[in-house]
Structure 1
Amino acid sequence: MTEDSDLQGTARARRWINDAIETIEADFNRSADTHLLRVPLPACLGIDLYLKDESTHPTGSLKHRLARSLFLYGLCSGRIGPDTTIVEASSGSTAVSEAYFAQLLGLPFVAVMPRATSAEKVVQITRYGGRCHFVETPCAVYAEAERLSAALGGHYMDQFTFAERATDWRGNNNIAESIFAQMALETHPVPAWVVVGAGTGGTSATIGRFIRYRRLTTRLCLADPEASVFHRHLADRSVRTTDGRPSIIEGIGRGRCEPSFLPELIDRAEAVPDRASLAAARVLSERLGRSCGGSTGTNLWAAARIIAGMAAAGKTGSVVTLLCDSGERYRSTHLDPRWLAERGLVLEPYIAAVEAFFERGVSPDAILVA
């Protein structure tokens, strides 16, 4: 191959990358920002609760932002070209969003996922032209994605490593900038707390850095499934893995402390039982008139603890959390009575506890103890 043909090949690849970035930017330009919903709290006067509704993204979840950032990061770093097969390790939602962007750019996409991933997510991935490659346990996704990427000569996106660095945390309409801009005209425009879960840790890193960059008084709370390692790592930095049964809440909580998770940015952690997450998601869905996934329930339970504490101390202010995705993605799992019964998941006491929070302003945990 001559030097001229090498230069021509490089020029073609650069043109393709330029076109790919323009395609992603055009897609972003077509997509309106997600809404910030105010949730009535009549029992907690002076305290306002808001939900950033990330389910309205084109691919239906918070992970749409991450997937877009990861693709731009890969393109601008020279790791994605016109013939690159994209491979990702995911519990489902990131894979759905990445399959969408891969299809947008005409690239093959393979998602390495636990076999227990909800069927609805698998359907969405294949609808966008992606292929699902299953492993038996969540902890096996990393090595298998890396192996498969090497075998295919592709690019392993590795959201768990690159999530915290792919997003421009200073602005550029990231989720943090969007939240605080939308809060500008509210009674308490600077939230006392923002409550988020962590899967990769990318969202908590973006919000935590933005808070510091803008020198805000807002504090950041991690809402974490009980089975996850993140809240354990915050309590004891030597703890980096868990060996127990994984959480059934998809998208947040991990068995290992991911490279993108930055514990120094977290001011408080709340460990939430899976039953509490599912119950809170159901109650919130009824009150909002829109379906919420389990991770949104985790966020709500943690936010309810904070709000009840504020109310008991006579404090006022605002609390913001995320509606991460729709419950429609879990029709075959969390919303299926048979699926719950097979796992012995009784939600009624937890549902009553969440209702008591809304009606009386008390912590849901206080109702369970009583």
Structure 2
Amino acid sequence: MAVETLDVDRTDPEYRAWLKEAVRKVQADANRSADTHLLRFPLPADWGIDLYLKDESTHPTGSLKHRLARSLFLYALCNGWIRPGRPVIEASSGSTAVSEAYFAGLIGVPFIAVMAKSTSQAKIDLIEFQGGECHLVDSACEVYEAAATLAAETGGHYMDQFTYAERATDWRGNNNIAESIFAQLRLEPHPEPAWIVATAGTGGTSATLARYVHYTQADTRICVADPENSCFFQGWVDHDPDATCDTGSRIEGIGRPRMEPSFVPGAVDRMMKVPDAASVAAIRVLERVLGKKAGASTGTGLWSALRIVAEMRAAGQHGSVVTLICDPGDRYLDKYYSDDWLYGQAIDIAPYQEQLELFLEDRGPLG
């Protein structure tokens, strides 16, 4: 948790000038950035169902987490938590750290990412490319304490995305991801989606989507897809805010060993547990269909979205479904796109990939 420090005179003209310039630079990044694309995933026309993927991999730092990092930096700056010359420290599974390293460099402060050793080397390289430093720990369960300790030792600010993600984002609008999706669907055959499917690391995106839907009185439902080795699904089913699991998620960027403060289970309508093999199979099919490599968290959401499409088709329902491309697959060539890695993890994607291909050819069920 962030703790207000007293070592900066908030009225000092030099500090106030630095703060104004830092906020301007972060807001200017948003002003320079175009919206991300909403891609159509082809389904048989006679189904009367449209599937879209919001391609968040086109952000300047290559992932959905660019939105979150920008919001977190503005929130922390305006709260007086980030100070000139002091490091920003984050507990992260990788993509948030890449984006936060970018914003730290933008405003000229050091950045340290605390991550599990299992984080892909490509993500570590990206953090370092953005000028950040990586502090690796043995397990995802250790990142919180290690980040807080580093902040105390260095006099820096622990950003704590898992606590502040849901409150740093303006869920009522201001071009958040939900408002963007609805605007882009305005001229489509089914402009109000039946379902939006998200995945959860912090839970901030699912909270933003769900709150926006409720706020605008849309009939859209929100589904959160959860991978293996994550406690979100069980905590949601059991209404248990203290749910935990002992093993870290193999799907980088999503799944957590504890119920994170930013995950808002009461706001979402449904959760779906997705086998890791199904997540990887889905991104292999995505590459064939759209020619895009994506990370496995995208596959977790895509599998769930296609399951919902199958349910709508079986019920004779028409409408649209939206899910997300969270980050690019080139960060995971040595993992989810490596048959050797899959073999070492005892992940067999063949049965799920066959199910997906038959379903998309309208020759079999999915589930």
Alpha-carbon distance in structure 1 between the residues aligned to 2:103 and 2:156: 16
For structure 1, which segment, 157-166 or 324-333, has the greater mean C-alpha deviation from structure 2 after superposition?
324-333
Q: 1:16 to 1:345 in 2, by over 3 A?
A: same
- Cα distance 1:8–1:77, how it changes in 2: closer, same or farther (>3 A)? closer
Which residue number corresponds to residue 217 of structure 1? 219
What is the count of residue pairs matched by the alignment? 360
Q: Of the candidates 154, 157, 160, which is equivalent to residue 155 of structure 1?
A: 157
Q: Are residue 105 (structure 1) and residue 78 (structure 2) matched?
A: no
Match status 1:320 vs 2:322: yes
Gaps of 5+ in 2: 1-7
For residues 341 and 239 of structure 2, what CA distance do their matches in structure 1 show? Answer: 36
Q: Cα distance, 1:39 vs. partner?
A: 0.8
For 2:225, give the aligned amino acid. Answer: A
Of the three residues 229, 237, 243, the one matched with 1:227 is: 229
The one-letter code sitting in structure 2 at the alignment partner of 1:144 is: A
Q: How does 1:143-182 map to 2 (within 5 A)?
A: 143-182=145-184
Asked whether the equivalents of residues 252 and 295 of structure 1 are also in contact (C-alpha less than 8 Å), the reply is yes
1:205 and 2:200 matched: no
Q: Which amino acid aligns with 2:119?
A: T
Q: What is the distance in 2 between the residues matched to 1:162 and 1:85?
A: 18
Deviation at 1:180, TM superposition (A): 0.4
For 2:128 and 2:268, how far apart are their aligned partners in 1? Answer: 36
How far does the alpha carbon of each residue in 1:4-50 deviate from its partner, in whole angstroms, 9 at most, with x for none? xx979711111111111111111111111100001110166210000
- Work out whether residues 43 and 360 of structure 1, in 8 Å CA contact, stay in contact via their aligned partners in 2: no
Superposition pairs of residues 1-370 of structure 1, within 5 angstroms: 10-42=12-44, 45-238=47-240, 240-360=242-362, 362-365=364-367
What is the alpha-carbon distance in structure 1 between the residues aligned to residue 9 and residue 102 of structure 2? 31
Question: How far apart are residue 336 of structure 1 and its match?
Answer: 1.6
Amino acid at match of 2:331: R
User: Partners of 2:363 and 2:265 in 1: how far apart?
Assistant: 30
Which has the larger displacement, 170-179 or 6-15? Answer: 6-15
Counterparts of 1:211 and 1:282 in 2: how far apart (Å)? 31
**Partner Cα distance (1:313, 1:111) in 2:** 47
CA displacement 1:78-116 (0-9 Å, x = unmatched): 101222210000000000000011111111000000000
Structure 1 vs Structure 2 CA RMSD: 1.4
Which amino acid letter does the alignment assign opposite residue 21 of structure 2?
D
Q: 1:352 to 1:43 in 2, by over 3 A?
A: farther
Query: Are 1:16 and 1:82, in contact at CA under 8 Å, matched by a contact in 2?
Result: yes
CA distance in 2, matches of 1:241, 1:195: 22
Conserved? CA contact 1:229–1:239, under 8 Å: no
User: Does structure 2 retain, via aligned residues, the 8 Å contact 1:192–1:219?
Assistant: yes
Report the 3-state secondary structure (helix = DSSP H, G, I; strand = E; otherwise coil) of the residue aligned with 1:360.
coil
| Alpha-carbon offset, residue 361 of structure 1 | 7.1
CA shift at 1:227, angstroms? 2.0
Q: Give unpaired runs (5+ residues) of structure 1.
A: 1-5, 366-370
Q: Which moved more, 1:18-27 or 1:129-138?
A: 18-27
| Paired letter, 2:224 | L
Q: 1:215 to 1:361 in 2, by over 3 A?
A: farther
User: Is the contact made by 2:230 and 2:245 (CA closer than 8 Å) also made in structure 1?
Assistant: no
Distance across 1 between alignment mates of 2:93 and 2:117: 9
Give me the TM-score of the superposition, normalised by structure 2.
Answer: 0.95
> 1:332 is aligned with what amino acid?
D
Distance in 1 of aligned mates of 2:132 and 2:66:
15
Does the 8 Å CA contact 2:245/2:258 hold for their aligned counterparts?
Answer: no
Q: Residues 171, 8 of structure 1: CA spacing in aligned structure 2 closer, same or farther, 3 A cutoff?
A: closer
After superposition, the Cα gap between the structure-2 partners of 1:68 and 1:314, relative to the gap in structure 1 and judged at 3 Å, is same
Q: Secondary structure at the match of 1:195?
A: strand
**8 Å contact 2:90–2:161 — kept in the other structure?**
yes
Q: In 1, Cα distance between the equivalents of 2:220 and 2:171?
A: 16
The structural deviation recorded for 1:343 is 1.7
Instruction: Give the Cα separation in 2 of the matches to 1:357 and 1:93.
Output: 32
What does the per-residue CA deviation read over 1:125-167, in whole Å, with 9 as the maximum and x for residues that have no partner? 0001100000101010000000011100000000000000000
SS at match of 1:34: coil
Q: Report the TM-score, using the length of structure 1 for normalisation.
A: 0.95
Shift of the 170–9 alpha-carbon distance from structure 1 to 2, 3 Å rule, reads closer
Q: Distance in 1 between matches of 2:36 and 2:228?
A: 29
Alpha-carbon displacement from aligned partner over 1:259-312 (angstroms, at most 9, x marks no partner): 000001110111000010001011011111111110110001111111101000
